[in-house]
RNA sequence: AGGGAUAUGGUGUAAUGGCAGCACAACAGAUUUUGGAUCUGUUUGUCUAGGUUCGAAUCCUAGUAUCCCUGCCA
């Protein structure tokens, strides 16, 4: 995992001793199959813990009895194990702790922090208010602890119908954060739970259950996606109210979508139901089961996950990143053999009937052999052998099959394959010349009569082939993207931001009508089936061997449908095909990348921004007067306008000395101290800043030193001038001293010096930085610039 | 509308006041018995406007755009 804001937090917490070890959890809801979206979240959760020597938990978030099933639990765990994760003993379910959550709920009631509400759902929504208006208390909000306890116990006992009552936290009905307006903790639901059976008729809500379970499991860093930011307030409220210590903390990350993919559970279900795909494991599906059946390896999936990156922005990842991870993995894993997917017959006139030549051809191209870390390469069995032993026998008879696409009666410009009268190299077998061509009534080529040339004839291209008498018939399933457009869920084909949820499987409102619009972007050619032939050597390879069929792509036997006597090969992924790209361009079709219409650039000048310049902020007459007063005292107009709109800054500045230093102190207040001032973390008064401003104005200290000192003083409360005096931070204006420092730096970075003299002017910043660092920021910048320019001339 | 989050090439991600880097994609060339792979090179970027600073992607101010929240889902 590359460093990111989560690893930064983990390192900080480990270093400070806040937690002895990091503990994370991946909490899927068992209400659907794991898919590529889950890979990202699970990788972040698991890999972070693994990387810092902690432990990771797999947890089934099964608080909703209507959605969770054992089948999904097993499938998710199975898929994650396939990826290589091993959580050991640490497999949990929310339903493990139903009894404990109940006890915490009673405790909350006893603390006066939760109450049983008995209004209808609609009424509760109405009372909650909206963004503009605060909520109003339910008539039941002030029930006594005894009454709440009694009602809650009777809720558990099953005395009430679904929806008759709920347990709510008593937090803040006026909060601008809607999540805090007395969130529901428990609901009545007379439903059988796949694990708890009929033991319960009340079920905890996510906001109550999740933090508690994190705490019970000893989780330290609880990661979730960005839309839970508002829920963190409940999380923290619960942890503090119940007094957990040490306690887990929630951190949110941005989601990652994938182009050309939908992962909405309901939409995937629709694809299955409509028969667009053959099932949840149809190799075109984004589910892990499907990718597994497709032949993608766990290593490739993990490599993909590691490349995506983590931050706090929702982003859409280019599908080519995934495809690249798959190809990159297979390139060094898949032995090369030949298969003809769409065959046309070739008769070699100068090869006697009945004669078979047996060729010994290498499984691997030279570059894979060259790059092998141990100097060996794999056989289809996986056994690693010296390169000279990694060969297979390939028969060559009088009749062959070649790819229909590899012969053309009317070759386009740049065509490097077989033409009438032309030559081409048969992979591993020599040069072939096409002499005569038979066609059927429709003009399709049926047979090519050819001659195998002896000696070292030349040919521009190389094509693959199989010997007709020896080849094994096979079915080929050629998969392509399920959708024609990057964002099938968008309103138009150019939208490229699919709604894609890495962690949750059921955020969708099951009751809302499903927008089936995405179906119109289905790729009609997402599956092409052909019948052709593979070379006989593959018969002896293990069933799970991934092969590269040269010039065609990576394939393996379909684990479900392939039979010993009826081979079915599925294409895992194509090879990159620059020729196809060229021909597309030649036909005037835009290459794929260009088809991606640029989305409107965020921040590109919109209609409003373009013409009108930002208008000055409107100030009240009182504020205008205050601005006039501050500017008269020496503050800049900009600083003054900022100051008058911020009471805290203004209050601080009220203590400033009103002399020649005022403008500087005002500037520091606005530019350097504002954030700390608002959070009440400034330990010095404005009056203490005047001596510092005087020192700066007189040139005795540099701006850099002044600001550093300011920050330190603000944090410690010590008078800045005293820090300067104690540490002797006055400006270095000694030319000889500076020249010495510069000489040392230049001597230590000869390459940079050369680059600078070669024209890389940006390096001046680097050198200045080095000098500043060496002098603790005390060097006079003007002098530094001058001396540096001289020294580098 | 109120609250919250975010903004770096075509895409994804680094740079924690000092060289805007890396990967994917694209393009060009080399190489190649896979139109694959590999190698070399090139194009393209700090949302906008001000400010602080010798120096700003980074700090300050204002604006713009996008996303999230107002389920008894998670």
- Measured CA A292 to C1' B73 distance, in angstroms: 30
Task: Please name the residue whose C-alpha is nearest to the C1' of nucleotide B2.
Answer: A131
Tokens (6 digits) for A145: 């602890």
What integer best gives the mean pLDDT of chain A? 91
Lowest mean pLDDT among A270-284, A549-563, A729-743: A729-743
**To the nearest whole percent, how much of chain A has pLDDT over 90?**
83
Q: At what angle do helices A703-716 and A720-727 cross, to 10 degrees?
A: 120
Which nucleotide C1' is nearest A120 CA? B72
- Measured CA A639 to C1' B62 distance, in angstroms: 12
8 Å CB contact between A53 and A19: no
Q: Is the CATH code 2.40.240.10 the one for domain A336-369+387-478+528-583?
A: yes
For the stretch A512-540, pLDDT in tens is 557 778 998 999 999 999 999 999 999 99
Quick check: is A265 catalytic?
Answer: yes
pLDDT band at residue A617 under the 50/70/90 scheme:
low
DSSP A601-658: PTTS--HHHHHSPPPPPP--HHHHHHHHHHHHHT--HHHHHHHHT-HHHHHHHTTS--
8 Å CB contact between A448 and A437: yes
Task: Give alpha helix (H) positions in A248-359.
Answer: 265-273, 288-294, 298-308, 319-331
Q: Which CATH number fits domain A735-792: 1.10.357.10, 1.10.10.410, 3.40.50.880, 3.20.20.60?
A: 1.10.10.410
Task: Please name the residue whose C-alpha is nearest to the C1' of nucleotide B47.
Answer: A603
- Measured CA A495 to C1' B66 distance, in angstroms: 13
Nucleotides of B under 7 A from a protein CB: 1-8, 10-20, 23-27, 32-38, 47-55, 59-74
Tokens (6 digits) for A101: 């959550």
Lowest mean pLDDT among A1-15, A47-61, A573-587, A611-625: A611-625
DSSP A510-562: TTSPP-GGGGGGB-TTSEEEEEEEE-GGGGGS-TT--EEETTTEEEEE-TTT-
Which nucleotide C1' is nearest A411 CA? B35
8 Å CB contact between A574 and A328: no
Q: Are strands A384-385 and A377-378 parallel, antiparallel or unpaired?
A: antiparallel
Residue A786: φ, ψ to 5°? -65, -50
Task: Please name the residue whose C-alpha is nearest to the C1' of nucleotide B68.
Answer: A227
Higher pLDDT, A88 or A1: A88
Tokens (6 digits) for A503: 């962690």
Lowest mean pLDDT among A47-61, A228-242, A492-506: A492-506
pLDDT at A95 over 70: yes
Which nucleotide C1' is nearest A600 CA? B65
Residues of chain A with CATH 2.40.240.10: 336-369+387-478+528-583
CA dist A22 and A24 (Å) reads 7
CA dist A279 and A273 (Å) reads 8
- pLDDT value of position A601: 31
Quick check: is A323 catalytic?
Answer: no
Q: Which of A143, A156, A195, A255 is catalytic?
A: A255
Residues of chain A with CATH 1.10.10.410: 735-792
The CA-atom distances, in angstroms, between A740 and each of A8, A25, A269, A700, A776 are 38, 56, 73, 21, 15
Token pair 């910048």 is found at A781
- pLDDT value of position A513: 59
- pLDDT value of position A512: 58
- CA atoms within 13 A of residue A531's CA, in its CB half-sphere: 2
Task: Please name the residue whose C-alpha is nearest to the C1' of nucleotide B73.
Answer: A507
For the stretch A148-180, pLDDT in tens is 999 999 999 999 999 999 999 999 999 999 999
Which nucleotide C1' is nearest A68 CA? B74
The residues near A82 (Cβ < 8 Å, ≥ 6 apart) are A288, A292, A298
Name the CA dihedral angle for A670, A672, A676, A680, rounded to a multiple of 10 degrees: -50
The CA-atom distances, in angstroms, between A239 and each of A97, A104, A192, A242, A561 are 17, 11, 30, 5, 52
Which nucleotide C1' is nearest A67 CA? B73
For the stretch A650-700, pLDDT in tens is 999 999 999 999 999 999 999 999 888 888 888 899 999 999 999 999 999
Q: Are strands A91-93 and A55-60 parallel, antiparallel or unpaired?
A: parallel
- Measured CA A766 to C1' B14 distance, in angstroms: 18
Q: Which of A25, A29, A551, A571 is catalytic?
A: A29
- Measured CA A570 to C1' B63 distance, in angstroms: 54
- pLDDT value of position A599: 34
Quick check: is A232 catalytic?
Answer: no
Which nucleotide C1' is nearest A617 CA? B62
pLDDT at A588 over 80: no
The residues near A102 (Cβ < 8 Å, ≥ 6 apart) are A156, A202
- pLDDT value of position A498: 40
Decide if the complex's ipTM is over 0.85.
yes
- Measured CA A721 to C1' B16 distance, in angstroms: 27
Token pair 């009268």 is found at A421
Q: Which of A168, A265, A293, A336 is catalytic?
A: A265
- Measured CA A174 to C1' B2 distance, in angstroms: 11
């Amino acid at each position: 995992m590359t460093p990111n804001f989560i690893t930064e937090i983990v390192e900080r917490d480990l270093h400070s001793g806040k937690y002895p070890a990091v503990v994370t959890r991946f909490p899927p809801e068992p209400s659907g199959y794991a898919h590529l979206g889950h890979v990202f979240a699970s990788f972040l959760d698991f890999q972070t813990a693994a990387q810092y020597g902690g432990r990771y938990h797999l947890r089934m978030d099964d608080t909703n009895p209507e959605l969770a099933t054992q089948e999904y639990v097993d499938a998710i765990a199975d898929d994650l194990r396939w990826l290589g994760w091993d959580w050991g003993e640490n497999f949990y379910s929310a339903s493990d702790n139903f009894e404990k959550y109940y006890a915490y709920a009673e405790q909350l009631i006893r603390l006066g922090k939760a109450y049983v509400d008995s209004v209808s759902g609609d009424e509760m929504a109405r009372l909650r208010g909206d963004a503009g208006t605060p909520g109003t208390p339910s008539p039941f909000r002030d029930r006594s602890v005894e009454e709440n306890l009694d009602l809650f116990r009777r809720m558990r006992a099953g005395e009430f119908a679904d929806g008759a009552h709920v347990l709510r936290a008593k937090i803040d009905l006026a909060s601008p954060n809607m999540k805090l307006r007395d969130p529901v903790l428990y609901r009545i639901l007379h439903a059988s739970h796949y694990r708890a059976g009929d033991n319960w008729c009340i079920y905890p809500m996510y906001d109550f259950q999740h933090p508690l379970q994190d705490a019970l499991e000893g989780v330290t860093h609880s990661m979730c996606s960005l839309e839970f930011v508002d829920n963190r307030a409940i999380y923290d409220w619960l942890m503090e109210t119940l007094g957990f210590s040490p306690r887990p903390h929630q951190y949110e990350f941005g989601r990652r979508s994938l182009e050309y993919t939908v992962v909405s559970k309901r939409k995937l279900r629709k694809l299955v139901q409509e028969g667009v795909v053959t099932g949840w494991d149809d190799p075109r599906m984004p589910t892990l089961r499907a990718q597994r059946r497709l032949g993608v390896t766990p290593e490739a999936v993990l490599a993909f996950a590691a490349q995506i990156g983590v931050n706090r922005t929702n982003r859409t990842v280019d599908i080519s990143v995934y495809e690249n991870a798959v190809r990159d993995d297979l390139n060094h894993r898949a032995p090369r053999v030949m298969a003809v997917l769409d065959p046309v017959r070739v008769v070699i006139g100068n090869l006697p009937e009945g004669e078979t030549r047996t060729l010994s051809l290498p499984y691997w191209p030279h570059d894979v052999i060259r790059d092998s870390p141990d100097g060996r390469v794999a056989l289809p069995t996986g056994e690693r052998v010296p390169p000279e032993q990694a060969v297979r026998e390939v028969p060559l008879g009088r009749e062959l099959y070649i790819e229909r696409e590899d012969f053309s009666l009317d070759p386009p410009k740049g065509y490097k394959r077989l033409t009438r009268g032309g030559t081409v190299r048969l992979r591993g077998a020599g040069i072939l010349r096409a002499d005569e061509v038979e066609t059927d009534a429709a003009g399709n080529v049926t047979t090519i009569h050819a001659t195998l040339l002896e000696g070292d004839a030349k040919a521009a291209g190389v094509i693959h082939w199989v010997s007709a008498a020896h080849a094994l018939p096979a079915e080929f399933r050629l998969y392509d993207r399920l959708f024609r457009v990057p964002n099938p869920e968008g309103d138009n084909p150019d939208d490229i931001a699919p709604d894609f949820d890495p962690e949750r499987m059921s955020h969708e409102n099951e009751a809302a009508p499903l927008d089936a619009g995405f179906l119109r972007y289905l790729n009609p050619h997402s599956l092409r089936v052909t019948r052709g032939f593979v070379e006989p050597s593959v018969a002896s390879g293990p069933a799970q061997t991934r092969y590269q069929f040269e010039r065609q792509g990576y394939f393996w036997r379909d684990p479900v449908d392939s039979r010993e006597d009826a081979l079915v090969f599925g294409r895992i992924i194509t090879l990159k095909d620059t020729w196809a790209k060229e021909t597309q361009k030649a036909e005037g079709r835009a290459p794929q990348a260009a088809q991606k219409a640029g989305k409107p650039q965020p921040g590109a000048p919109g209609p409003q921004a373009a013409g009108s310049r930002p208008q000055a902020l409107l100030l009240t007459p009182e504020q205008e007067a205050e601005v006039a007063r501050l500017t008269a005292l020496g503050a800049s107009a900009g600083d003054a306008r900022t100051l008058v709109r911020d009471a805290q800054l203004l209050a601080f500045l009220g203590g400033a000395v009103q002399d020649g230093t005022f403008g500087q102190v005002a500037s520091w207040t606005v530019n350097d101290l504002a954030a700390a001032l608002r959070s009440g973390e400034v330990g010095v008064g404005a009056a203490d800043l005047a001596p510092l401003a005087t020192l700066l104005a007189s040139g005795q200290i540099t701006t850099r030193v002044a600001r550093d000192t300011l920050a330190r003083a603000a944090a410690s409360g010590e008078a800045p001038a005293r820090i300067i005096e104690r540490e002797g931070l006055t400006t270095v204006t000694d030319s000889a001293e500076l020249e010495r420092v510069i000489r040392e730096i230049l001597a230590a970075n000869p390459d940079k010096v050369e680059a600078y003299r070669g024209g890389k002017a940006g390096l001046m910043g680097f050198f200045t930085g080095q000098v500043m660092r060496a002098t603790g920021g005390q060097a006079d910048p003007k002098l530094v610039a001058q001396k540096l320019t001289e020294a580098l001339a």
